[in-house]
Structure 1
Amino acid sequence: MSIPGLMIAAPASGTGKTTVMLGLLRALREDGLTVQPFKSGPDYIDPAFHRAACGRASFNLDSWAMERDLVDAIAAEATGADMVLVEGSMGLFDGVASRGASGHGASAEIARRMGWPVILVVDVSGQAQSAAATALGFKSLDPALPFAGVILNRVASPRHERLVRRGMEQAGITVLGALPRRGDLTLPERHLGLVQAVEHPDLDRAIADYAAFLRAHADLAAIRDAARAAHAPSGGMRLPVPPAQRIAIARDAAFSFVYPHLLEGWRRAGADILPFSPLADEAPAPQADLVWLPGGYPELHAGTIAAAGTFMAGLRDHARTRPVHGECGGYMVLGEALIDKGGERHAMAGLLGIVTSHAQRRMHLGYRHAELLAPVAGFATGTRLRGHEFHYSTIVAQPDAPLAQVTDADGAAVPETGSHRGPVTGTYFHMIAPVA
């Protein structure tokens, strides 16, 4: 069964689509609808905000990293919902040059495949009728892409709104809302994007304010009526299988970047997910077959982690006989030391030799394709993985053997190969899915 849906997209990052997405999710829920949220692309922060807004788990849909069957399997999570809302990433047509597992990673590809019409959030600051040229270009670029209309954002005045609406009317573009400029409706950010949902001081109140704002300045009935679907995911597809039966996974403000579809797939396959908090100085469960340290913000908590004796002892004890894997921030914690942005060196677990520094700041961002040179938990040597890397740390030392041959989306070799020592492995990229 196909569920009607909409893609909330924009011409570029920073136009306010997250505010619109969260406000719509909450407003539609208040109206009695069950709404299934998704996030297009590899962002691992936004899904937690979606869940807070509508009470339903959000999942990533990614045409570069995921084969079509996996996209369908995740889209099928909408079963039982009245409506789907997908938050796009960057600009609507932005992706990578080289085709991946099923596409180039653009939000437009997901919308086209599923038949979900696009609502374009247009920042009209500094223009009036000219905004229609932007909207018309996005509507016309791909005639196969369903287009519902626009929501105008950062409207300066009633006169400004009238002028922008006149241009949209002349271009044949439906206006579904006009949001006045509001400086107080922004979410706090840090170097990897939004501050995490669990850290927001009053997230529920903020989302309720977004919903009230959308309700006052957008046509919710017209937005609901615009939802469509053309593709019904077929049954029988599976989410990724677990790499072990009992998985101890670090979960707190320092370790939270793991893709929701992985955890859901592991649970459904019967794996026991055993969360623990290194920041609370908790050791991984002694019965675990695998310890998984996700990415997050360990650099903001390096002193606390270094002093967490119970956590460190439990981690080292597990690594004597059973596998441990870390991604990005988790990888840093498995190393010898982490140097924070102030230049202070903090001793880490020492299970790998890597030393990382945030004092030597450099952005690493993009899709990654990896072929394993050594096994990682339940993945054998030679397994091909797709993932995403986003961090600002620099490797100071990495004496261990490389874990994988890693390339970017265009096939260029990436020096961050990960590393392994005994049963301990680590990568800078966050795994999204194995691929054939």
Structure 2
Amino acid sequence: MSMPQTIPGLMISAPASGTGKTTVMLGLLRALSEDGLDVQPFKSGPDYIDPAFHRAACGRASFNLDSWAMGPALLDSIAAQAEGADICVAEGSMGLYDGVAFAGALGHGSSAETARRMGWPVVLVVDVSGQAQSAAATALGFARYMPDLPFAGVILNRVASPRHERLTRLGMEAAGITVLGSLPRRGDLKLPERHLGLVQAVEHPDLDKAIADYATFLRENVDLAAIKAAARGVALPQHGALPNPPAQRIALAQDAAFSFVYPHQVAGWRRAGAEILPFSPLADEAPDASADLVWLPGGYPELHAGKLAAAANFRAGLRRHAASKPIHGECGGYMALGEALIDKEGVRHQMAGLLGLVTSYEKRKMHLGYRRAELVAAMPGYGAGAALRGHEFHYSTILDQPDAPLARVTDAEGAAVVETGSWRGNVTGTFFHMIAEDL
């Protein structure tokens, strides 16, 4: 029997969102790849946009690791996707210690929890705008807050001048914090965003050039050798179980309107022998008639509502399928299965009409957070009574939901959530994106 493989890794994190860790992550992935390393990227937490950027940066599929939504066996199985890589690099979400506080668990699901479990030292990206030596106090607090968390050092970001860098480095030196790099302030290091965060990787006007520029910038301003040397890790498991497919032949909507599907889900479906049949609703393609299941993932249907309303072939194909076989939609896919979607200008667009759901973006309201769902009716792959964990993030408001509820849904603290999902005949939908079965 072969010995478990130990692949060194790092967690790229920050004290808060908006500090520049994504551009550091992408530049680092590309720079390490250019140096001949096979780099396995990961994303800590429930994000379905960043993994596509990671893949564009290093050519290897990125996977989410979420210690709130995933049990140990699934976490091990996803970590094992790094087999054959030279180094793992994970991007944290929000601030390093931000997570769920419930039943005595502080920071459950945080990037720190993931890093500690995987043995990955943290590289903290610190925005030092408006401070100098004081940044060391922030870094020192992050380094000591969780004593058993490995801490590699900091990358100073948005440094205003050589004097600013010198004073900030002096503070870090006095605090015993290793400085792995210092990035001068640049106005072009911000990726384009929209209301759910970054635009999708496929929509970026010149993504490869942007990532190449980030890599060059990092080479000029960080100690890549020190960063590589800081990487550590724990032995990877040899076996594990990814999610089972909900059907044998799955027609999966995939285009700019429907792209938010967690990579470990599709990897699990394929590993178990399921056939994935991609199709594009925006191109007015109907799902493959031979599919056992149609799956509409989340995305941005509100940006393409007029085109979807005019996609007669797509909608007719859904109706034909729903007459005898199941369809499931998540978030944007759920909205597209409904009766109508009202865009931010107040224009009503007819959707597939397979569910009675009517949603509106006219008055934006954020719905964000982890979700636990107990199914009161069956959905593809899961029977009534099954418990699922997932995540919800959208700005739409339900105006009408006349169909039977699909689940009893609560947030991470156990409070009831009104977005229960719904079902009618062979069609089901949820506002939450499923991550895994309940622990």
Give me the TM-score of the superposition, normalised by structure 2: 0.98
* Aligned: 1:294 with 2:274: no
> Any idea what SS the aligned residue of 2:278 has?
strand
Match of 1:241 in 2: 244
Structural mapping, 1:131-146, within 5 Å:
131-146=135-150
- Partner Cα separation in structure 1 for residue 319 and residue 22 of structure 2: 40
- 1:58, distance to aligned residue in structure 2 (A): 0.1
- 2:10 equivalent among 1, 6, 20: 6
Could you tell which deviates more after superposition, 232-241 or 206-215?
Answer: 232-241
The one-character-per-residue Cα deviations of 1:266-318 (angstroms, maximum 9, x if unpaired) are 00100000000000000000000000000000000000000001000001100
Structural mapping, 1:5-404, within 5 Å:
5-98=9-102, 104-229=108-233, 231-404=234-407
- Partner Cα separation in structure 1 for residue 108 and residue 304 of structure 2: 36
8 Å contact kept, 1:295–1:326 = yes
- 1:415, distance to aligned residue in structure 2 (A): 0.2
Give the direction of change, closer, same or farther, for the CA distance of 1:100–1:381 in structure 2 (3 Å limit): farther
Q: What number of residue pairs does the alignment pair up? A: 435
- Partner Cα separation in structure 2 for residue 154 and residue 189 of structure 1: 19
8 Å contact kept, 1:66–1:102 = no
One-letter code aligned to 1:176: L
- 1:99, distance to aligned residue in structure 2 (A): 6.1
- Partner Cα separation in structure 1 for residue 286 and residue 13 of structure 2: 42
- 1:103, distance to aligned residue in structure 2 (A): 7.6
- 1:120, distance to aligned residue in structure 2 (A): 0.2
Match of 2:431 in 1: 428
> Any idea what SS the aligned residue of 2:148 has?
coil
Give the direction of change, closer, same or farther, for the CA distance of 1:288–1:361 in structure 2 (3 Å limit): same
- 1:235, distance to aligned residue in structure 2 (A): 2.3
- Partner Cα separation in structure 2 for residue 130 and residue 102 of structure 1: 26
- Partner Cα separation in structure 2 for residue 42 and residue 85 of structure 1: 17
- Partner Cα separation in structure 2 for residue 410 and residue 261 of structure 1: 25
> Any idea what SS the aligned residue of 1:332 has?
helix
- Mark the runs of 5 or more structure 2 residues left unpaired by the alignment: none
- Partner Cα separation in structure 2 for residue 67 and residue 9 of structure 1: 22
The one-character-per-residue Cα deviations of 1:14-51 (angstroms, maximum 9, x if unpaired) are 00000000000000000000010000000110000000
One-letter code aligned to 1:8: I
> Any idea what SS the aligned residue of 1:406 has?
strand
One-letter code aligned to 1:323: P
The one-character-per-residue Cα deviations of 1:224-281 (angstroms, maximum 9, x if unpaired) are 000011x223222111010000000100000000000000000010000000000000
CA RMSD of aligned residues (A): 1.2
The one-character-per-residue Cα deviations of 1:57-92 (angstroms, maximum 9, x if unpaired) are 000000000001101110011110000000000000
One-letter code aligned to 1:376: M
One-letter code aligned to 2:306: G
8 Å contact kept, 2:69–2:436 = yes
- Partner Cα separation in structure 2 for residue 284 and residue 102 of structure 1: 44
8 Å contact kept, 2:100–2:107 = no
One-letter code aligned to 2:9: G
- 1:104, distance to aligned residue in structure 2 (A): 1.2
8 Å contact kept, 1:63–1:100 = no
% identical equivalent positions:
77
- Partner Cα separation in structure 2 for residue 238 and residue 378 of structure 1: 15
- Partner Cα separation in structure 2 for residue 102 and residue 243 of structure 1: 34
> Any idea what SS the aligned residue of 1:242 has?
coil
- 1:152, distance to aligned residue in structure 2 (A): 0.2
> Any idea what SS the aligned residue of 1:278 has?
coil
The one-character-per-residue Cα deviations of 1:372-415 (angstroms, maximum 9, x if unpaired) are 11110121111110000000000000000000000000000000
- Partner Cα separation in structure 1 for residue 237 and residue 182 of structure 2: 38
- Partner Cα separation in structure 2 for residue 5 and residue 362 of structure 1: 38
- Partner Cα separation in structure 1 for residue 300 and residue 332 of structure 2: 6
8 Å contact kept, 1:100–1:409 = no
> Any idea what SS the aligned residue of 2:282 has?
helix
- Partner Cα separation in structure 1 for residue 104 and residue 305 of structure 2: 36
8 Å contact kept, 1:65–1:101 = no
